[in-house]
Structure 1
């Protein structure tokens, strides 16, 4: 079964974000502010890319959606950072004023389906988060677990609801283990053959209103980062108590997420580019 992920990297369309702007030009100025872009690149390099580089199931595609207006220096940097990960495809799309963000993402996913008449598994991913290196493997396992349920529904949510809230910076990694449902990271969806819905057809926190959702709380499957440019107000202003990784957790982060605390310190301590 085809597995397709979609990650937006500072994509400048209107809608589907909590931080709103009146015009596309305002959104571009916000997203492409050099300080913000630098923070996103550092998080992308130290959290997102390592876990997909080390995935146990290599049979998936991760589409990284960027605007055609992304500055060339940023596009070149993105290309260089992802060049060694064969599953990543950078997709440049125009941010059209008459087409909302959600519809653009749906078009990208529809185009990526190699056979729309066959079922597929989809997931969404933010450029500042991480999933476990066995995330795609676990998605396939879930599809096998839920064969009967999926045969009776066009769409089924797959929610891995255990993970870590984390802050990654020059001081290393500070975390709190938690259970959170339908937060986007660690969330997948089965889509039947011929179905026109995608994982971007629904707000992630409301997906359970439209389809059955199967939850797996057994193992930490994601790392959601907290930082100054989070789209979510709650994430930007979180007062969650985060603690430095214990020696045991350092090993767990390397094994489960391919996140090496020493590499995190190095990436986030580098001079501004």
Structure 2
């Protein structure tokens, strides 16, 4: 079954952000500011990409959506970061309304629209477990009766970590959070035009059956300077520095290397 992921990398959508701007030009200026993009690139390099490269089931694809105005030096840097992950395709779009353009991209990526597929979203500052794709595919097989009677079914791996990463390494706290973007997948029946972008992730359970799987940590959601959801009031999350043993567990589970994170975030 085809598995398609979608990642927005500083795409200047019309709507889709909790931080509002009066004009497209203001949004582009905010998204492409040197301070913000430097942090996004460091998070992409150390958090979002390693877990994809290490997936135990490599049979998936990820579309990274960028704005067609992303400066060339940043586009080249993104291509360089993704060069050794053949599952990734970078797709440029002009500013458009977020949900219509993302739905269009996902449906265009379906090689066989008459067949079912699985879809997931991947934020550029989060990680999933290295067996996420494998387990998502297996969950569909486990729920064959459920998917036979529904156009869409969501699979929510709701256990993971909130984490801060930086020059000192990784500090984290284990959490259970339902219907996050990270580590949630969507089954879509053949000949169904719905996509994972048709639904606000935290409300997806209002529109379809959902399956909750909570046996192991499956995501790392980072807390950083430019989280869109944290630019407004948000409840703080207490995190603690990982022990050496826990750092080893994060490498094995999420391909998050604390030494690499220290090196990247310590760079001038």
Deviation at 1:213, TM superposition (A): 0.6
Q: Is the 8 A contact 2:19 2:231 kept in 1?
A: no
Which residue in 1 is equivalent to 2:20? 20
Question: Which digits, 9 at most, give the CA deviation of each residue in 1:49-77, with x for residues without a partner?
Answer: 11011110000001100010111111000
Taking structure 1 as reference, are residues 238 and 228 closer, same or farther at Cα in structure 2, changes over 3 Å only? farther
Which residue in 2 is equivalent to 1:62? 62
1:82 partnered with 2:78: no
Q: How does 1:98-109 map to 2 (within 5 A)?
A: 100-109=97-106
1:125 partnered with 2:122: yes
Measure the CA separation in 1 of the matches of 2:15 and 2:230: 16
Deviation at 1:12, TM superposition (A): 0.2
Q: How does 1:103-182 map to 2 (within 5 A)?
A: 103-182=100-179
Question: Which digits, 9 at most, give the CA deviation of each residue in 1:103-144, with x for residues without a partner?
Answer: 111111011100110000000010000000100001101100
Which residue in 2 is equivalent to 1:216? 213
Partner-residue secondary structure (3-state), 1:40: helix
TM-score w.r.t. the length of structure 1 is 0.96
Q: How does 1:179-190 map to 2 (within 5 A)?
A: 179-190=176-187
Measure the CA separation in 2 of the matches of 1:88 and 1:197: 22
Q: Is the 8 A contact 2:182 2:219 kept in 1?
A: yes
Which residue in 2 is equivalent to 1:263? 260
Measure the CA separation in 1 of the matches of 2:83 and 2:150: 37
Q: Is the 8 A contact 2:42 2:264 kept in 1?
A: yes
Which residue in 2 is equivalent to 1:250? 247
Taking structure 1 as reference, are residues 235 and 244 closer, same or farther at Cα in structure 2, changes over 3 Å only? farther
Partner-residue secondary structure (3-state), 2:112: coil
Which residue in 2 is equivalent to 1:32? 32
Deviation at 1:235, TM superposition (A): 8.4
Deviation at 1:13, TM superposition (A): 0.8
Unpaired runs of at least 5, structure 2: none
Q: Is the 8 A contact 1:227 1:235 kept in 2?
A: no
Deviation at 1:208, TM superposition (A): 0.4
Which residue in 2 is equivalent to 1:207? 204
Measure the CA separation in 1 of the matches of 2:54 and 2:148: 31
Name the count of aligned residue pairs.
Answer: 268
Q: Is the 8 A contact 1:227 1:236 kept in 2?
A: no
1:53 partnered with 2:53: yes
Q: Is the 8 A contact 1:156 1:213 kept in 2?
A: yes
TM-score w.r.t. the length of structure 2 is 0.98
